[in-house]
Amino acid sequence: MIVYQPEKRQQAFKAGNVKEAFEEEIKKSWEEYQQQVGADMANSTPYWAEALNEILAGGQKVF
């Protein structure tokens, strides 16, 4: 997400609305993640949210 849309991320980060600005991308990412690891693992582990916080939210706890 940030590789393809760095300006969008920067603007959303400044406005404090990263979650809302990337809503569609996050939804697609979650669906792909569930397909790759399985719904049980996706729903029972914090890995996906941790990755979003680290990468998309710049280390802040947003997700």
Asked if pLDDT for residue 1 goes beyond 90, the answer is: no
Residue boundaries of the structural domains of the chain: 6-56
Asked if 18 and 57 touch (Cβ cutoff 8 Å), the reply is yes
Which residues, at least 6 apart from 11, have a Cβ–Cβ distance to it below 8 Å? 21
Closest CA to 56 of 43, 45, 17: 17
| pLDDT 10s digits, 2-59 | 788 889 999 998 999 999 999 999 999 999 999 999 999 999 999 999 999 999 998 9
- pLDDT, residue 12, reads 92
Return the SS3 of 37: helix
